[in-house]
Structure 1
Amino acid sequence: MNDTPVPKFMTGVQLTGHGGLDKLQYRQDLAVPQPGAGEVLIRVGAAGINNTDINTRIGWYSKGVSGATDQGAAQGFDTVRDDDGGWAGVPLEFPRIQGADCCGEIVAVGSQVDAARVGQRVLVRTMQSAPDTQEDYQCVTYGSEFDGGFAQYAIARSSEAFAVNSDLGDIELASFPCAYSTAEGMLERAQLQAGERVLITGASGGVGSAAVQLARRRGAYVIAVCGAQKRDDVLALGADEVIARGDNLVTALGADSVDVVVDLVAGPQWPQLCDVLRRGGRYAVSGAIAGPLVELDVRTLYLKDLTFLGCTWQPKKVFENLIGYIERGEIRPLVAKSYPLEQIVAAQEAFMAKTFTGKLVLVPPAVD
């Protein structure tokens, strides 16, 4: 560790177990972590809120839970099994500092890290390579398997903290890592090409609004599904068409009418997504906020030669490309509101209400 002075204690929010909002504890006496070999210490400027923060808190990833996220978002689920409550299907260690998004400045480094990194502004990759293997599909999530950005300071492996050169503020930059890398990962896996028609569900949320921008960047024709009151917001992001959430997709678009579906919702309307895909179409999914259990007619899958893509792991090039898009101004942040970290409960309540378009971001107190 170099000689950059940092305090001994910090403010942060600890998740003390799976459950309701009462499991979030705002504390001002947490020890500032020390960077080990290959690690950097980041003074956090801002950290975005994501569905994974809510899902992890309430244990929604557990196979004991079958309902939509919003059914347990405030109070949790009684059916959570602690042995598989994390997104990776393994027990979570508590207390845990969440925060999958992290923007900040490197203030200290551990051994085996170039001291010249001190002072760099960085974004931390959310979906990271597992530290003990380089095998594809082996990954860990920032703020889940280890502490994240809901604090004044955070540790990250140097290889997972990416320098970013941008005129955007910390709040704006903190809206990118999780949502935009998830969206770009889905489009990359689906091999979306210019001129193709893509249907994006949940298009007003963090990942959905990112997917609209990133699909448009690729030259695709973008059809977005969102609440009717958010239509203008999503059109402004670059959608070519907007379908109101709940409208029949086959009636609106016609059967066999889209090349790719990017799904973040699942739920009762899911069979219609297969119906609107053309023969040989691709379905990519990285969320199920309307409910994880769906009805699949397997005949639709094989008779239409559909390809299904579950999207969690991301190759490093996805985040490297994202940094490039940011630095070249090819995508823009969409921050609906920011909150002081101490108002995390109010911020998560607003997040769960889904009355906004884009991202909500938390800001830790300034370091004295």
Structure 2
Amino acid sequence: MHLPMQMKAMVLTGHGGLDKLEYRDVPVPALADGDVLIKVAACGVNNTDINTRTGWYAPSVKTALTEEIGLRGVSAEAQDLGSWDRASLQFPRIQGADATGTIVEVGPDVPRSRIGERVITDPCIRDARLPALSQGVLYFGSEYDGGYAQYTKIPSGNAVKITSTLSDEDLASFACSYSTGEEMLVRVNLQAGETVLITGASGGVGSALLQLAKRRGARVIAVGGKSKEQAIRALGADHFIPRERSDLFEAVTEIVGLREIDAVADVTGGPTFSQMLRVLRRAGRYVSAGAIAGPCPEIDLRDLIYKDLQMWGVGNPQASTFAALVGYIERGEIKPLVARTFALSQLREAHTEFVSKKHVGKIVIKI
């Protein structure tokens, strides 16, 4: 097919508010060895987009990711702005981790038979020479231009062929949130019959975790906004605790009838963190992949030490986890949950909707 020289993209010009997103014409990416070019059909919105744009990842930022920060960025006093791994970003940058579309061109050493494949992007760009849990060296849409554009390039191995009757918008809801959620459950080795507490259960990763935990046969205690209880229960939650309750430990005992549980999958952090450790049984497992409710919570080390707890942080899902996720999608074992779609030119409006936290599931950009 004839490829244009220019394309429309939403470009991040620096850390700050919504004004840092500019809809403009940019060159279509040039391919190097190992790359493929994707004509993007849709791309999901994720917390990492907001965190990076606003500068919330800076170590000097100690507060929750509030709606005000989401709209305006962190204060000008934060001098250590960076990406999720605290490295400096280069601007301009095209964000967007969850692209889906069709391969339309390949680099010199990639088989041309890949042209025409429908793919989703595995956003974790790895260095296979490193140990398994440290292979993630770049993130698509963060340290590497992503999918908020008409075309995007990515290493061939990160453009994963998928066979599905789901729409482009549905497929764009999976990659980042569901691979993160599945990796969290892999780390804690969640088993059928075990009980897991999931925070932020209405968000992208939280709603993914809920489905993925139920797929494993686990009992799920979901924490979310009171107004979203019906939607969260519809996803399969066995028990629901309103996030408005500050007494999480007492709520687990009162609502669920348990004093100890097997695992916590946490995507919020914040003031109830210490209670999450308190509800775990001896040798219980805690895993975190987010801290938007507060990145610097108080911890009672006596829970960690004297209960022999196990704790993990997840920022880079493994390639095997993403491959398993694609299988779940193709077999219909998990379902998409798209709350709303926006056009690429409306990304500022999509971010505004995202940080309001009124939705359940994913917000997706249709290219």
TM-score by length of 2: 0.95
Q: Contact 1:82–1:91 (CA<8 Å) still a contact in 2?
A: no
Partner SS, residue 336 of structure 2 = coil
Residues 79, 297 of structure 1: alpha-carbon distance in 2 compared, 3 angstrom cutoff: farther
Partner SS, residue 92 of structure 1 = coil
Are 2:169 and 1:171 aligned? yes
Partner SS, residue 148 of structure 1 = coil
2:344 to 341, 348, 360: 341
Are 2:27 and 1:31 aligned? yes
Partner SS, residue 329 of structure 1 = coil
Q: Contact 1:64–1:80 (CA<8 Å) still a contact in 2?
A: no
Please name the residue that 2:207 is paired with.
Answer: 209
Q: Where do 1:185-334 residues align within 5 Å? A: 185-247=183-245, 248-254=247-253, 256-334=259-337
Distance 2:365 2:4 in 1: 21
Distance 2:40 2:314 in 1: 28
Q: Contact 2:222–2:237 (CA<8 Å) still a contact in 1?
A: yes
Please name the residue that 1:10 is paired with.
Answer: 7
Are 2:54 and 1:58 aligned? yes
1:310-360 deviations in Å (ceiling 9; x for gaps): 111222110000000000000000000100010111110000001110000
Distance 1:350 1:341 in 2: 14
Distance 1:80 1:177 in 2: 34
Please name the residue that 1:135 is paired with.
Answer: 131
Q: Contact 1:223–1:239 (CA<8 Å) still a contact in 2?
A: yes
Q: Contact 2:261–2:281 (CA<8 Å) still a contact in 1?
A: yes
Partner SS, residue 337 of structure 1 = strand
Distance 1:230 1:105 in 2: 35
Are 2:99 and 1:105 aligned? no
What letter is aligned with 1:218? R
> How many angstroms does 1:78 deviate by?
2.0
Distance 1:80 1:102 in 2: 34
Partner SS, residue 223 of structure 1 = strand
Please name the residue that 2:19 is paired with.
Answer: 22
Distance 1:171 1:43 in 2: 14
Distance 1:61 1:204 in 2: 22
> How many angstroms does 1:81 deviate by?
4.9
What letter is aligned with 1:187? L
Distance 2:50 2:226 in 1: 24
Distance 1:80 1:309 in 2: 31
Distance 2:80 2:4 in 1: 36
What letter is aligned with 2:357? K
> How many angstroms does 1:164 deviate by?
0.3
1:90-112 deviations in Å (ceiling 9; x for gaps): 10010000001110100000111
Q: Contact 1:256–1:279 (CA<8 Å) still a contact in 2?
A: no
Partner SS, residue 193 of structure 2 = coil
Distance 2:191 2:140 in 1: 30
Residues 82, 360 of structure 1: alpha-carbon distance in 2 compared, 3 angstrom cutoff: same
Gaps of 5+ in 2: none
What letter is aligned with 2:37? L
What letter is aligned with 1:45? A
Residues 363, 221 of structure 1: alpha-carbon distance in 2 compared, 3 angstrom cutoff: same
> How many angstroms does 1:256 deviate by?
4.3
Partner SS, residue 74 of structure 1 = helix
Partner SS, residue 198 of structure 1 = strand
Distance 2:135 2:60 in 1: 23
What's the Cα RMSD here?
A: 1.3
Distance 1:6 1:109 in 2: 12
What letter is aligned with 1:249? L
Q: Contact 1:256–1:275 (CA<8 Å) still a contact in 2?
A: no
Q: Contact 2:60–2:80 (CA<8 Å) still a contact in 1?
A: no
> How many angstroms does 1:363 deviate by?
1.1
Please name the residue that 1:67 is paired with.
Answer: 63
Please name the residue that 1:150 is paired with.
Answer: 148
What letter is aligned with 1:85? G
1:78-129 deviations in Å (ceiling 9; x for gaps): 2565655111111001000000111010000011101000000001102221
Q: Contact 1:264–1:288 (CA<8 Å) still a contact in 2?
A: yes
2:115 to 103, 118, 130: 118
Distance 1:276 1:80 in 2: 38
Partner SS, residue 69 of structure 1 = coil
Distance 2:76 2:298 in 1: 22
Partner SS, residue 98 of structure 2 = coil
Q: Percent identity?
A: 49
What letter is aligned with 1:240? D
Q: Contact 2:226–2:244 (CA<8 Å) still a contact in 1?
A: no
Distance 1:238 1:40 in 2: 38
1:132-166 deviations in Å (ceiling 9; x for gaps): x4433131211011100000000010011100000
What letter is aligned with 2:354? F
Please name the residue that 1:45 is paired with.
Answer: 41
